[in-house]
Structure 1
Amino acid sequence: MVAESQEAVAGLSRHARQMVRELAVIAGGIVLYFGVRGLITTRIDVAYRNAESIVGLERSTGTFVEPRLQQVVIDRGWLAEVAGYVYIYGHWPVLLITLVWLLIRHREAYRRFRNAMLLSGGAGLVIFALFPVAPPRFLTAYGFVDTVTERTSAYRVLQPPAFVNQYAAVPSLHFGWNLLMGIAAPVWGRTGRSGCSAG
């Protein structure tokens, strides 16, 4: 009985240490993100020039199709509404729920996907610092429409500009991380719990 109690306490202690370690990693990532965000605020003109360079490159290769594609979605009002709500309300819940599920039920898979997020996020921060890019929603002269802001104010509540790097359009971690969670989704169907620790 005593041995079982000690084993249970040791298990809880190990679990608590893992949680503290994961929270420390997340806190470190947030500090780095805000550090890079601070670098960008004085280089907004560079972010616009870089965005225009990308548009120029796409035009020269005949691949500048984004405004036309967006217009197809806008012309189907319901599709624009759905896309906007998925964009606003889907991002953080999808990330958090998937990662928590993996941490609790599939530790080995959690470690892989956590590391993929950290590595891609680190690469993204380097690119954001060296090559800031204004997002398409700021490039109205090229035919882009900020459908999210036009149709709802929730974006400013859930992702307030004061806490978001407005000039981190390339690469899109928003898209990339949700794609990563989509790749993780098949893990949900597996039964059982991995005995591996999330190290």
Structure 2
Amino acid sequence: MPALIVRIGDWLPRGWPDLFRQLLLYVLADTFYEMARGMADGRANIAFANGERVIDTERTLGLFFEPGLQGLLHNFDWLIDFANTIYLNSQFTVALGFLIWMYLFRNDYYYFFRNM
């Protein structure tokens, strides 16, 4: 086995087998998530009904301001692009980066956060 692979394995908190186990768990979780999303296809009517209930609740509480806010910001394409980029990075890059950091540098806490 090349020396570099051995050295990296020594540096990993619990070695290569645990790293591969964590990657497998991540891939399995993502696969099941995508399968669940696929099962929800064709049920848009339920999602829209739930959305209408949320809007009704917001109106009742006097919190339904989103259409007005969107109308104000609609002409600022650069701001919309920036917000979309931040959202995408928060959902994927930041969350995955945090898990990698936890695994490598706070391994004792990683397993708790992974299971949350």
Tell me if TM exceeds 0.5.
yes
Structure 2 CA distance for aligned equivalents of residues 37 and 103 of structure 1? 28
Secondary structure in 1 aligned to 2:96?
Answer: helix
TM-score, normalised with respect to structure 1: 0.45
Q: How do 1:17-56 residues align onto structure 2 when only pairs under 5 Å count? A: 17-56=17-56
Which residue identity does 1:91 align to in structure 2? Answer: Q
Structure 1 CA distance for aligned equivalents of residues 58 and 25 of structure 2? 37
User: Displacement of 1:40 after TM fit?
Assistant: 0.8
Structure 2 CA distance for aligned equivalents of residues 54 and 105 of structure 1? 41
Cα offsets for 1:96-133 (capped at 9, x unmatched): 222212211111232232222xxxxxxxxxxxxxxxxx
Percent of aligned pairs sharing the same letter: 28
Which residue identity does 1:53 align to in structure 2? Answer: R
Higher relative helix content: 2
Structure 2 CA distance for aligned equivalents of residues 44 and 76 of structure 1? 30
TM-score, normalised with respect to structure 2: 0.71
Secondary structure in 1 aligned to 2:42?
Answer: coil
Task: Single out whichever of 61-70 and 72-81 deviates more from structure 2.
Answer: 72-81
Task: Single out whichever of 17-26 and 76-85 deviates more from structure 2.
Answer: 76-85
Q: How do 1:122-137 residues align onto structure 2 when only pairs under 5 Å count? A: none
Consecutive unaligned residues of structure 1, counting only runs of 5 or more, are: 1-7, 117-199
Question: Are residues 1:67 and 2:67 paired?
Answer: yes
Cα offsets for 1:70-105 (capped at 9, x unmatched): 344446555333212212344322122222122111
Which residue identity does 2:54 align to in structure 1? Answer: I
Which residue identity does 1:51 align to in structure 2? Answer: G
Structure 1 CA distance for aligned equivalents of residues 61 and 45 of structure 2? 25
CA RMSD of aligned residues (A): 2.7
- Of the two structures, which has the highest relative contact order with CA contacts closer than 8 Å and spacing of 6 or more? 1
Structure 2 CA distance for aligned equivalents of residues 90 and 15 of structure 1? 29
- Corresponding pairs, count: 108
Consecutive unaligned residues of structure 2, counting only runs of 5 or more, are: 1-6
